[in-house]
Homo-oligomer: A and B are copies of this chain.
Amino acid sequence: MSQTSSSQVTIAVDAMGGDKGLKVSVAGCALALKQVEDFNLVLVGDENRIKYYIKKHKLPSNRVRVVHAEEEVLMDDEPVFAMKNKKKSSMRIAINLVKDGEADACISAGNTGALMATAKFVLKTLPGIDRPALISLMPGVRKNGSLKMTTTYMLDLGANIDCSVENLCQFAMMGTILSQKIKKVKSPRVKLLNIGSEEFKGLGVIKETSAALDDMKNINYKGYIEANEIFFNAADVIVCDGFIGNIALKSSEGLAKYIRSVTEDTFKGKWFYKPFVWLGYLFFSPVLLSLKNRLDPHQYNGASLLGLKGVVIKSHGNTNKVGFENALLEAVNEAKNDIPNQISAILARRLKVDG
């Protein structure tokens, strides 16, 4: 816990991480500081450059301090290399601040593999948790007369390639806690990602996990889910191993980008030389803008590395300031709700019951 009062949490920011580094991270911090009152920031990185951006975006000096870091983890550094050799990097120092109790959470838009390896090495996993998992909100819709926008937690998104039945059950438990504490869902519906809802289709580990989840008292397990249902509010928590989760996440991100590319290309076509079409675009543009906002992927930015002795949030590397703001507010939320200790408490209770 940090030195501040219990309602005031402190977030350490790896300000150098991400495709656009300080430009996006400090701008995102400015938005979050305006949005929410009760948290403070420690910005870690090149002190002079950070101070320039703090001034530019008028960050309130009473809520922000700077810790200098003389190096950076690069996007193509190998995770183990970064963990072993980049001890003076902004990423490493931000994680150290959490370990030393000077911050309640840290956030980075940098190299995902390096962040996972370093965070696991420095913070260690909670007792009873074998492996941390990467969890994030996926967008979705619910048809109920009108269409309602929803969200679903999905884990693991790439931290663990091979998972045991026990690992997957722990993911279900951690996802349930996050959905309860952050999204205020009373009894989150948990589903297991598979390639068919029929019993006979499952892989060995998936089948066994399904049986084990059925027996877990604190999990509201609802069976299998197919990948095409991820975005249709069929569950509050979707569990899968990191290989499959990463494939599902990246292929849907890819398709979204493909649709964006084709849309932009079509809108930029020869149409614009026809005055009526151009006029049509102008009059119709409020609807198109509303659609763009509803589909904005930056709303869902911010994956959490669950299962560590500390809150670690990964922002997408190529997010914008709004995306970074959202990821930062997720860090604030998880720190306020003290998610690691919540997971520990449930685990301890479960071990007691099982024993």
**Residues on A facing B (Cβ under 8 Å):** 76, 78-79, 113, 139-141, 143, 146-147, 149, 158, 161-162, 193, 195-196, 198, 200-201, 203, 226-232, 242-244, 246-259, 261-263, 265-267, 269, 271, 276-277, 279-287, 290-291, 294-295
List B contacts of A277 (CB < 8 A): 283-284, 286-287
Expressed in whole angstroms, the Cα–Cα distance for A251 and B154 within the complex equals: 13
Is B281 a contact of A287 with CB atoms below 8 Å?
A: yes
A1 to chain B, nearest CB (A): 35
A194 to chain B, nearest CB (A): 9
List B contacts of A76 (CB < 8 A): 198
Expressed in whole angstroms, the Cα–Cα distance for A255 and B78 within the complex equals: 31
Q: A244-B244, A280-B280 are in contact. Are A162 and B203 (CB under 8 A)?
A: yes
Q: A277-B286, A277-B287 are in contact. Are A250 and B227 (CB under 8 A)?
A: yes
Nearest B residue to A244 via CB reads B247
Instruction: Specify which of B140, B246, B248, B280 is in contact with A284 (CB 8 Å cutoff).
Output: B280
Q: A262-B141, A291-B263 are in contact. Are A286 and B257 (CB under 8 A)?
A: no
Is A290 a contact of B262 with CB atoms below 8 Å?
A: no
Nearest B residue to A79 via CB reads B200
What are 5 A-B pairs at a CB distance below 8 A? Answer: A113-B196, A231-B258, A251-B252, A267-B291, A279-B283
Q: A228-B253, A247-B195 are in contact. Are A287 and B258 (CB under 8 A)?
A: no
Is B195 a contact of A246 with CB atoms below 8 Å?
A: yes
Expressed in whole angstroms, the Cα–Cα distance for A210 and B201 within the complex equals: 27
Expressed in whole angstroms, the Cα–Cα distance for A178 and B230 within the complex equals: 32
A36 to chain B, nearest CB (A): 27
Is A257 a contact of B283 with CB atoms below 8 Å?
A: no
A199 to chain B, nearest CB (A): 9
Is A290 a contact of B269 with CB atoms below 8 Å?
A: yes
Q: A243-B195, A244-B244 are in contact. Are A254 and B232 (CB under 8 A)?
A: yes
| CB-CB nearest 3 A-B residue pairs | A280-B283, A280-B284, A227-B250
Expressed in whole angstroms, the Cα–Cα distance for A256 and B295 within the complex equals: 11
Is B256 a contact of A259 with CB atoms below 8 Å?
A: yes
A157 to chain B, nearest CB (A): 10
A110 to chain B, nearest CB (A): 15
Nearest B residue to A139 via CB reads B258
Expressed in whole angstroms, the Cα–Cα distance for A263 and B290 within the complex equals: 10
Is B147 a contact of A262 with CB atoms below 8 Å?
A: yes
